[in-house]
A and B are shown apart, each in its own frame.
Chain A
Amino acid sequence: MLERFFHLYLEHPLELTHDLATVIPIVVGLFYANPKRKEIRFLLIYFVFLFFRNLISNIYATYRINNIFLYNFFNFIEIIGFGLTYYFNINKSNFKFYILIGSILVIIINVFFWETNEFSAGILTLTRIFGLSIALFYFVELLAEMKVKNILKHSLFWVSSGIIIHSTGTILIFLFSKIILSTRAAPDIFFAYWNFILIMYIVFCLFVSVGFWVSKYDEDNYA
């Protein structure tokens, strides 16, 4: 079993990089992030869940068991993780309310798009739109309030940038996942897009790691 496990990694080295990339924010978050900040704690928990999803998904792949439902299911955790991250960082009550309502609404709609054996275009796309929306709203809020002295030392700027890049880079691929990520898609097309998704994910992990790293400056970075 272990032989096949390593064989899969050798066959798809980007998968290995992707799995290792998940460890970077966890390590940075555990050792360098500011544990006082709730949003950092929620994101860290999210990445721990992500690590276990990858681990379980790889074990399933080794045993040739369908693991696609894990990717679909993880979007629910992603919505909760992102929702909580922003919910506890925003002071405006109406923005908090929108995040809460938006999260519940997207989760409910996603339930109707549930698929076990295929990537669910509905779930994946809606989750990207949700992530993109709150990250952009946060940017608008950041520019309107001007409460951060140095944006490059603000943790949620990096996290939001990561979410925006990850979401914009994968939204169209997931929207048309029925064509390019389905079991019927040509392997070269599937792997080309799948690898691109993995690259986007690695970029997201790096951005979040930077966010975790700079979170130690957050306390003194508010004007």
Chain B
Amino acid sequence: MKLYIAVGTAVLLVMAIFIIVFVAYYQQKQIRQQLILKEWQEKYRKGLLAATLQAQEHERRRIAQDLHDEIGTMLSVTKLSLNQLGRTVEHNDPGSTVLVQKTRSLLDETIANVRRISRDLVPTTLERFGLVSALEELAEKASNGEVHVELSCSDKMPTLLPQLDLTLFRIAQELINNAIKHANAENIIIDLHCQPNGVLLSVIDDGRGFDLDEILKDKKRGLGLRNIESRLNVIDGHVTFDVEEGRGSRIHIQVKNLKPEVEVEVEAV
């Protein structure tokens, strides 16, 4: 009997140890699998997001091309016809000359607008001359009598991947637009600096600021900021919002540059 108790206890103990080892092993294995699955899902989500952004850029390019090639051309032809009509009307019906001139000025305005929209849709300066030039142009365009936009950047900026260039440009565009439109900022500084293995883009304004949590909660309002986060997600970038209602905002974007660096001399503004 006593021997049976000893053997029984030994068997139970072996079973207990087996259960403990099995639970530890199985749980770790499951957790590893879950991690792999999460990584895969994250990768898939990023891929999907990247594809969406790429499709968005393609669509912008197509619309810009259509505007330039088709509507722009049609408008130019219309302007030519109007000029001919103007000359005819000038001789036959001098009273209608004012109307023709008015129509011509409206047409000029339309052509200019089509050109502007077409240029805004595709940042050609970015593609031709790089991020710094594109940001310079952006700052210049955004500046007017009421708003002053200034670009400050490192003397030597590394050449970034085209995708990074575009992302940073679009983010800067969105932030400047927000600062002017929503925060009523008068002075905006775009700060672009290179860091070891990356680039730091800061957009600082003296506007009225905003409550980040409130904006992000509101699905209709926080679209631009969410878009920034999505764009950065694709390139493993980070955004830091140093914002508060009633004071200027400081938004910092940090991205890693994966391309071997080729430094380009840039004249600091």
Q: How many angstroms between the C-alpha atoms of A72 and B53 in the bound complex?
A: 71
Which single residue of chain A is at the shortest CB-CB distance from B8? Answer: A172
Q: Chain A interface: which size bin?
A: 20 to 34
Q: How many angstroms between the C-alpha atoms of A157 and B23 in the bound complex?
A: 9
Across the interface, do A180 and B5 meet the contact criterion of CB distance under 8 Å? yes
The contact string, 1 if C-beta is below 8 Å from chain A, for chain B 5-38, is 1001100110111011001101110110010000
Contact pick for A142, options B5, B23, B34, CB 8 Å: B23
Residues of B within 8 A of A (CB): 1-2, 5, 8-9, 12-13, 15-17, 19-20, 23-24, 26-28, 30-31, 34
Given A165-B13, A168-B16, 19 more pairs with CB closer than 8 A:
A139-B23, A142-B23, A143-B26, A143-B30, A148-B31, A150-B31, A151-B23, A152-B28, A157-B24, A165-B17, A168-B13, A171-B9, A172-B9, A172-B12, A173-B5, A176-B1, A179-B1, A179-B2, A193-B5
Across the interface, do A164 and B19 meet the contact criterion of CB distance under 8 Å? yes
Across the interface, do B1 and A146 meet the contact criterion of CB distance under 8 Å? no
The contact string, 1 if C-beta is below 8 Å from chain B, for chain A 168-196, is 11111100100110000000010001001
Across the interface, do B9 and A143 meet the contact criterion of CB distance under 8 Å? no
Q: How many angstroms between the C-alpha atoms of A56 and B220 in the bound complex?
A: 70
Closest 5 pairs (CB-CB, A-B): A168-B16, A168-B12, A151-B27, A161-B20, A172-B8
Q: How many angstroms between the C-alpha atoms of A82 and B15 in the bound complex?
A: 22
Contacts of A142 in B (CB 8 A): 23, 27
A136 at the interface (CB under 8 A from B): yes
Q: How many angstroms between the C-alpha atoms of A182 and B88 in the bound complex?
A: 129
Across the interface, do B5 and A176 meet the contact criterion of CB distance under 8 Å? yes
Q: How many angstroms between the C-alpha atoms of A83 and B215 in the bound complex?
A: 46
Across the interface, do A151 and B28 meet the contact criterion of CB distance under 8 Å? yes
Contact pick for B19, options A139, A151, A170, A173, CB 8 Å: A139
Across the interface, do A151 and B16 meet the contact criterion of CB distance under 8 Å? no
